Amino acid sequence: MRLAITRGVSPAIARCELTHLARQPIDLKKARAQHAAYEACLRALGCTIRRLPGGDALPDSVFVEDCAVVFDEIAVIARPGAPPRRAETGAVATALKAVRPLARIGPPGTLDGGDVLRAGRRVFVGISSRTNAAAIDQLNRLVSPFGYTVTGVEVRGCLHLKSAVTEAAPGVLLLNPAWVSEGTFHGFTCIETDPGEPHGANALRIGDDLVYASAFPRTRDRLDSLGLSIHPVDVSELAKAEGAVTCCSLIVENG
Ligand code: CIR
């Protein structure tokens, strides 16, 4: 069974953390409708949705990806770099405890799950305003015994590593070369985002399918050339909170 852990959009989302974007009004009703459509898309792709309760007082709680990193062997509970977001991790840990042994990032480490890109046994971790070297060391110690190689990656100009690069298909990365250096990813095929779509590097792989924001049609054309099965979703309201498609779920294979 493939599980997708999600959390509803908080009524406090207008007070979300923002780093690279100016604050704009967010239409809560529309954000919730888009989030429900996103969940429906994951369901149609074979995921069982487990929507976590209790995030209403936490503005960014919809972005569950930042609270943990799920491996086949363990789940690592993150320690988000923005202190107000740390209270989000409890409910995520409770859900993951049922499906994986848990480990945790501890102080002085800070890590947002959005900074962790898994590609097979390679794990790339963004060195960002949210994720520091201490956390990368901790993650390395936790997962290298399972055969993963952990590499820290400088990101510039965006919030998280996965704002800049995600895996579109096995061995194929979708990236914005202005935010991350292609040279870091030896052995991978890299597809660049369209220059007019800098936020278009964030795609969510579910098996052989790709969930992708409808806001980036020109980059989508580039992905189409790979013959991937692409499922467009409109996440325009969540994008105003600096969120994208990967950040609204934690996918657990065999969950
Ligand atoms: C934040 O700044 O933490 C949230 N407003 C957005 C988090 C998006 N998370 C993600 O891309 N993994």
**Which residue, among 111, 113, 119, 110, has the nearest Cα to 184 in the 3D structure?**
119
11-32 residues labelled b (16+ CB within 10 A) or e (exposed): eebeebbeeeeeeeebeeeebb
What pLDDT is attached to residue 150?
Answer: 98
Determine the distance separating the centroid of ligand 1 and the alpha carbon of 188, expressed in angstroms. 26
Tell me what the mean pLDDT of segment 211-232 comes to: 95
Q: Is 116 in the pocket of ligand 1 (CB under 6 A)?
A: no
Q: How many structural domains is the chain composed of?
A: 1
Q: Is 14 in the pocket of ligand 1 (CB under 6 A)?
A: no
Instruction: Decide if pLDDT at 226 tops 90.
Output: no
Q: Is 115 in the pocket of ligand 1 (CB under 6 A)?
A: no
Tell me what the mean pLDDT of segment 217-221 comes to: 97
Encoding tokens for residue 165? 């690069």
Tell me what the mean pLDDT of segment 122-129 comes to: 98
Could you confirm whether 35 is annotated as catalytic? no
Determine the distance separating the centroid of ligand 1 and the alpha carbon of 248, expressed in angstroms. 9
Peptide bond into 108 cis (omega under 30): yes
pTM value is 0.97
Residue-averaged pLDDT of the chain: 97
Instruction: Decide if pLDDT at 81 tops 90.
Output: yes
Could you confirm whether 247 is annotated as catalytic? yes
What pLDDT is attached to residue 108?
Answer: 98
Type of residue numbered 62: V
Active-site position among 160, 199, 231, 248: 160
Tell me what the mean pLDDT of segment 225-239 comes to: 95
Q: Is 76 in the pocket of ligand 1 (CB under 6 A)?
A: no
Work out the pLDDT band at 63, boundaries 50, 70, 90: very high
What's 53's domain CATH number? 3.75.10.10
- What is the percentage of the chain residues whose pLDDT exceeds 90? 98
40-66 residues labelled b (16+ CB within 10 A) or e (exposed): ebbeebebeebebeebeebbbbbbbbb
- pLDDT single digits (tens) 23-59: 999 999 999 999 999 999 999 999 999 999 999 999 9
Residue 30 belongs to what domain range? 2-253
